[in-house]
Amino acid sequence: MIVVMILTIVVFEQGPHIPLVIGTVIAALVAWKKCGFKWKEIEEMMYKGVKLALPAIVIIMLVGLIIGSWIGGGVVATMIYYGLEIISPSLFLVTIAIICAIVSLAIGSSWATMGTIGVAGMGIGISMGIPAPMIAGAVISGAYFGDKMSPLSDTTNLASGLTHTDLFVHIKHMLWTTIPGLLIALGVYAYLGKDFGQSAAESADIGKTITVLQESFVISPFLLLVPLAVILLVVMKVPAAPALFVGIILGFLAQVVIQGDSIASALAVLQSGYTIDTENAVVADLLNRGGLDSMMYTVSLAIVAMTFGGILEYSGMLQSIMDQLLKVVKSSSSLIASTLGACFLTNVSCAEQYVSIVVPSRMFAKVYTDKNLHSKNLSRALEDGGTLTSVFVPWNTCGVFILGTLGVHAFAYAPYAILNFIVPIISLIYAFTGYTIAKLSTEEKLAIQEKEEAAG
């Protein structure tokens, strides 16, 4: 599948759906002919894989609706308008990364942050003449910093829970890799931002964009209450789906009541996305989007990817690959390096960041205890190698979501998602130097072994 994927995307410049279908067919044949599974069992594996992706699919569809309703309601236009008025182009990449980090830290969701703040950030940055891949990289770095470090994050709780590590011990241990990663990322964004000082020509272009926005929408600071309401709901621990649904309703009402559009027009935007009639190419590119239909490519990709991942996971093929990795583990450093590699491999093969945490955690837990390594080393490696690298795989649900939401392909934003690739490198350096690698005391190891024996 990986070979066909590279040929299709890089050489033929086509989408990833067909390679995933080919991979699924081959995996099914191997499971049937070589592993002895019946076709009914293989079907169940595919269904289980798709079931894993269903929460992500629901969020993807809701984000399509919220983008459409917020554009139609003038919410995105208002955020872009005030962003262009306030933020300096030279500081934009740093600013948007910090804002996304704060919001994601508060709400514990990188997806919700990218689907709201990230969409507006793309509009502001593109209006300033900053390349879309750079903006997407800064948004992703900030969003994943907050997601990784927030006690409200599902992946953070998953990694700590599966390894039996106290949540705040896990978060504190991640500071050693994540804070340096964020500082490096912000330094790079500050350097890149120097090229986007506001020249007279750029200022004129920004002025034209602001004029078009004012002519096309009712711009009001009260519209900023819509994204604020969604953020507050998630902070209050309302699940992401209901919180986003409230955002959709508020955007719909804003389009009807504040923008003065008909209910029929607002419903059409939810289905097909917003369409603006303007000669300003920047504004047209920014606002001609959204709606449920716009996410169907993304939804179909997630479904196909998870049928492939389901066969690999539940047939034992992935476990077989992981067993080969464990054979090269000779030391603590190679164990942590193998964990990082296993997480990324699972992201590539199973196309889902949750699986990249679940499978390696099951495989490596006992080995870490045998090597006298504290479980917080494993929980940190799962996040460094699993959560963060998921964005670099175009067919992973995270890469798929980002393409559908921010409109930038994984291969395009990859060089600029600094935090996401620098943190695994820092983690690897720590592994081979022994820095921040916590050891188990004899008492702790005996306590773990007693629990394992008691569990049978």
SS3 373: strand
- The pTM assigned to this predicted structure is 0.78
As a residue count, the chain comes to 456
- Which of the two residues, 354 and 136, has the higher pLDDT score? 136
Q: Can you tell me the mean pLDDT for 268-286?
A: 85
* Alpha-carbon span 379 to 164, nearest angstrom: 9
| Highest averaged pLDDT of the listed ranges 363-372, 413-422, 430-439 | 413-422
For the chain, give every domain's residue range: 2-53+296-454, 56-294
Q: Can you tell me the mean pLDDT for 314-336?
A: 82
Percentage of residues in the chain having pLDDT higher than 70: 96
Q: How confident is the model at residue 387, as a pLDDT?
A: 92
Q: Which of 319-328, 420-429, 444-453 has the lowest mean pLDDT?
A: 444-453
pLDDT band for position 191 (cuts 50, 70, 90): very high
User: Exposed, middle or buried by CB within 10 Å (0-12, 13-18, 19+), for 157?
Assistant: middle
Q: Can you tell me the mean pLDDT for 253-280?
A: 93
Q: How confident is the model at residue 357, as a pLDDT?
A: 87
User: Exposed, middle or buried by CB within 10 Å (0-12, 13-18, 19+), for 215?
Assistant: exposed
* Alpha-carbon span 132 to 137, nearest angstrom: 9
Radius of gyration of the chain (CA): 23
Q: Can you tell me the mean pLDDT for 82-105?
A: 89
Q: How confident is the model at residue 15, as a pLDDT?
A: 76
- Which of the two residues, 85 and 138, has the higher pLDDT score? 138
Token pair 């410049």 is found at: 13
pLDDT band for position 443 (cuts 50, 70, 90): confident
Q: How confident is the model at residue 201, as a pLDDT?
A: 47
- Which of the two residues, 60 and 27, has the higher pLDDT score? 27
Looking at residue 13, the DSSP 8-state letter turns out to be -
Q: How confident is the model at residue 200, as a pLDDT?
A: 46
SS3 72: helix
Cβ pair 100, 117 in contact under 8 A: yes
Q: How confident is the model at residue 204, as a pLDDT?
A: 65
pLDDT band for position 289 (cuts 50, 70, 90): confident
- Which of the two residues, 186 and 235, has the higher pLDDT score? 186
Percentage of residues in the chain having pLDDT higher than 90: 40
Q: How confident is the model at residue 227, as a pLDDT?
A: 87
Q: Which of 119-128, 176-185, 358-367, 440-449 has the lowest mean pLDDT?
A: 440-449
Residue 455 has pLDDT above 90, yes or no: no
Q: How confident is the model at residue 198, as a pLDDT?
A: 58
For residue range 381-408, list pLDDT tens digits in order.
Answer: 999 999 999 999 988 889 989 998 899 9
Q: Can you tell me the mean pLDDT for 251-272?
A: 95
* Alpha-carbon span 138 to 420, nearest angstrom: 10
Residue 456 has pLDDT above 60, yes or no: no
Alpha-helical segments (H) within 73-166:
75-86, 92-107, 110-113, 119-127, 132-149, 154-162
| Highest averaged pLDDT of the listed ranges 57-66, 170-179, 328-337 | 170-179
Q: Can you tell me the mean pLDDT for 252-266?
A: 95
Q: How confident is the model at residue 434, as a pLDDT?
A: 92
| Highest averaged pLDDT of the listed ranges 64-78, 205-219, 440-454 | 64-78
Q: How confident is the model at residue 199, as a pLDDT?
A: 52
